[in-house]
A = this chain, B = another copy of it.
């Protein structure tokens, strides 16, 4: 059987990682294509692949991914079988539509967003993606939603706890700590527009069988984690809560994001002034401007942080539950990644690395048929162990802290 051609949509920091990881797994795939609104950015990734000595066939393309007909046409023209969408979160639905029309597998790493809306009604997946479930099944394609690190690997961690530890899960607390330092006054680790949008709305958590609502930075808790040590993290809204709450509806599902005081201060100032708003304002000269887009324009390009980024990230799931005997237990399933190692390997910082490796692992599992389920699935709906073991081979090893100590899976 012919190897499947892969199309990466997007050419930011995560796309850079995805491209390098696909190239490292060249034996699994056919040709590699990279498409982006601004073609020169896709060209730059192709150049960086060549610089690393990769030799699989790759090419770059200009694509308006908001145009699903254009997406479908490109897929057909290039005979693409797997699309990895790591462009802005605003294009998910048009790219998915293109895959449905052209019969390609679809993988993304973050939930669809409408540029004009922040923090819609939970569960978020039900607002866009899940509405296309029947169409995906009817088209007979595989669509894997949220297959980055978080969402993505952390969903697999929950499934891993379900498969290998507990009969009944009481709570899933996902903790994301970036203990790295980029040396700039202030920067976001990925697209500032998406980054800030995560924190300007209501913080939804799934607790006691229902959605609870808090404000950002309202609930903070100190965590003591492997390698990164004691770190403060805050209850935050995040994609994976909106799918895990469906599968684990009798469990509490919470997401905790680590923030330093400096980040919180800058965020609070910008938020209180109205500079994080996605609603346009009018200047004295009559120009209509979306403040958040201007904040994005003045902040460092997340990709530019990579060369000087040092330190480590720790992201994991603390899962509490009960075994067959009803006895309570807990397990912390986690990964530690290093910013400098990521840059040395693929020219990206650690946050992009952790987000970019998992969708390639998902693509490999589709190519091998293990995850080629011919329907729409979130990561927790798919077998976890093959994914986590492959991630370990690809640079993101999973460890657990359980009753027997701290060890690899």
Contact = CB atoms under 8 A, between A and B. Distances in A.
Given A272-B185, A273-B185, A298-B274, A287 B284 contact: no
Given A275-B275, A289-B289, A297 B283 contact: yes
Contact of A186 (B185, B272, B294): B272
A390 interface: no
A185 B285 CA distance: 25
B297 A289 contact: yes
Interface stretch (A1-9, A42-50, A263-271): A263-271
Nearest to A267: B269
Interface in A241-281: 265-266, 269-270, 272-275, 277, 281
A184 to B, nearest CB: 10
A270 B269 CA distance: 8
A232 interface: no
Given A266-B269, A269-B266, A272-B186, A298 B293 contact: no
Most buried by B among A269, A270, A277, A282: A269
A36 to B, nearest CB: 12
A296 interface: yes
Given A273-B185, A289-B289, A281 B297 contact: yes
A295 interface: yes
B282 A298 contact: no
A296 B269 contact: no
29 contacts: A185-B273, A186-B272, A186-B273, A193-B284, A265-B265, A266-B269, A266-B273, A269-B269, A273-B295, A273-B299, A274-B298, A275-B294, A275-B295, A281-B294, A281-B298, A283-B293, A283-B294, A283-B297, A284-B293, A284-B296, A285-B293, A287-B289, A287-B293, A289-B289, A289-B297, A291-B294, A291-B297, A291-B298, A294-B294
A277 B186 CA distance: 16
Given A193-B284, A265-B269, A283-B293, 12 more contacts: A266-B269, A266-B273, A269-B270, A270-B273, A273-B298, A275-B275, A275-B295, A275-B298, A277-B298, A281-B294, A289-B289, A291-B298
Interface in A185-207: 185-186, 193
Interface in A280-336: 281-285, 287, 289-291, 293-299
Contacts of A273: 185-186, 266, 270, 295, 298-299
Contacts of A289: 287, 289, 294, 297
B269 A297 contact: no
Copies of this chain in its oligomeric complex: 2
Interface residues of A, number: 28
A274 B185 CA distance: 11
8 smallest beta-carbon distances between A and B, as pairs: A274-B298, A281-B297, A283-B293, A269-B269, A185-B272, A283-B297, A294-B294, A266-B269
A292 to B, nearest CB: 10
A58 B285 CA distance: 28
Given A287-B289, A289-B287, A289-B289, A297 B282 contact: yes
Interface in A207-224: none
Contacts of A186: 269, 272-273
Contacts of A285: 293
Nearest to A270: B269
A298 B272 CA distance: 10
Most buried by B among A266, A277, A282, A294: A294
Contacts of A298: 273-275, 277, 281, 291
A294 B299 CA distance: 15
A214 to B, nearest CB: 21
A365 B94 CA distance: 71
Contacts of A265: 265, 269
A281 to B, nearest CB: 4
